[in-house]
Amino acid sequence: MTTAGRRHRIATDSTASALHNVLVELRIGRDAEVIVPSFGPSAPADAVRLTGAIPVFADIDERTFCLDPDAVAACVTARTAAILPVNVFGHPAPVARLRELADRWSLALVEAGVDSEDVGAVARRRAHARFLDSALTGVVVPYTEPGAHHLYHQYTVRVPGNGRPDRDAFARALAVRGVKATVSVPVPVHRMPEHRSGAALPQTERVAADTLSLPVHSGLTQRELTHVAKACNALGGLL
């Protein structure tokens, strides 16, 4: 097992450059393995490759979209040097549980930093999210782990049905109704050419296929937010 030690670092932000700097500081380099998520930005995997290390993709919790500690534990090998979790769409990663794993195997824990937040904008987004939580029917609204502080950088729902075909049809139908919804993770990182991996990540694949992010930015008016909810509910979730 690696002798990385009980080290916990937080990068200055979530960019590949900032994460790479922390990995270099920890002397994690060639042939070491670093456990990262595939659902989300490629920056963690990019940072690992910049050091010459190998990104190992672990599956996610299908409710929070963050790394699943049990999946992370299953990925640990004699070459594992670190775990690199990220907050997804504003939901915090399960850092406490991941720190326990890091301590158990003497691994480094590197958190992606969060850019400074406009407190007023965050409060507004959270208020919008609470409204959508109560108003939406037919889609699975975002889950928040008890005690977690979700910032709702994205308000990401799951569209019931047959994965991408129904999710994409739902997005097109919303566009016709004047609601611009986006697919925040069109391709999981482990499917990208530069990071292609044979890892079996069933939850990551499933969530990438049926998630859709609805408008929740702080500039929305209550009338616009109500229109988003009505447009979604008129479709009944499954098309």
Quote the pLDDT of residue 2: 42
Based on the domain organization, do 203 and 144 belong to the same domain?
A: yes
> Is residue 98's pLDDT more than 80?
yes
Based on the domain organization, do 158 and 218 belong to the same domain?
A: yes
Please give the tally of structural domains in the chain. 2
Based on the domain organization, do 204 and 223 belong to the same domain?
A: yes
**Lowest-confidence range among 3-7, 66-70, 74-78, 200-204?**
3-7
Q: What's 27's domain CATH number?
A: 3.40.640.10
Based on the domain organization, do 158 and 85 belong to the same domain?
A: no
> Is residue 76's pLDDT more than 50?
yes
The Cα 48–Cα 112 span in angstroms is 12
Q: Which of 111, 131, 150 is the last residue of a domain?
A: 111
- Give the residue-averaged pLDDT of 112-130: 84
The Cα 40–Cα 112 span in angstroms is 12
The Cα 177–Cα 83 span in angstroms is 43
Based on the domain organization, do 137 and 184 belong to the same domain?
A: yes
Within 13 Å and on the Cβ side, how many CA atoms surround 100?
6
Q: What's 139's domain CATH number?
A: 3.90.1150.10
| Of 107, 110, 60, 108, residue with least CA distance to 88 | 60
Based on the domain organization, do 143 and 215 belong to the same domain?
A: yes
Q: Which of 111, 130, 148 is the last residue of a domain?
A: 111
| Of 109, 87, 91, 92, residue with least CA distance to 100 | 109
Average pLDDT, the chain: 93
Q: Which of 86, 111, 136 is the last residue of a domain?
A: 111
Based on the domain organization, do 136 and 216 belong to the same domain?
A: yes
Q: What is the pLDDT of residues 129-184, one digit of tens each?
A: 999 999 999 899 999 999 999 999 999 999 999 999 999 999 999 999 999 999 99
Note whether residue 2 is domain-resident.
no
> Is residue 239's pLDDT more than 60?
no
Note whether residue 205 is domain-resident.
yes
What is the domain range of residue 99? 7-111
Based on the domain organization, do 102 and 170 belong to the same domain?
A: no
Based on the domain organization, do 217 and 124 belong to the same domain?
A: yes
> Is residue 238's pLDDT more than 70?
no
Quote the pLDDT of residue 117: 67
Question: Which structure tokens are listed for 99?
Answer: 């720190």
Note whether residue 1 is domain-resident.
no
**Lowest-confidence range among 63-67, 185-189, 232-236?**
232-236
Following DSSP, what letter does each residue of 111-167 receive, concatenated?
A: EPP-----HHHHHHHHHHHHHHHHH--SSBPPP--TT-----SSEEEE--SSSHHHH
Contacts of residues 87-90 at CB distance under 8 Å and 24 or more positions apart, as own/partner, are 87/112, 87/114, 87/151, 88/37, 88/39, 88/40, 88/60, 88/64, 89/65, 89/142, 89/152, 89/153, 89/154, 89/155, 89/156, 89/184, 89/213, 90/125, 90/150, 90/151, 90/152, 90/153, 90/154
The Cα 36–Cα 142 span in angstroms is 22
The Cα 162–Cα 121 span in angstroms is 35
> Is residue 206's pLDDT more than 90?
yes
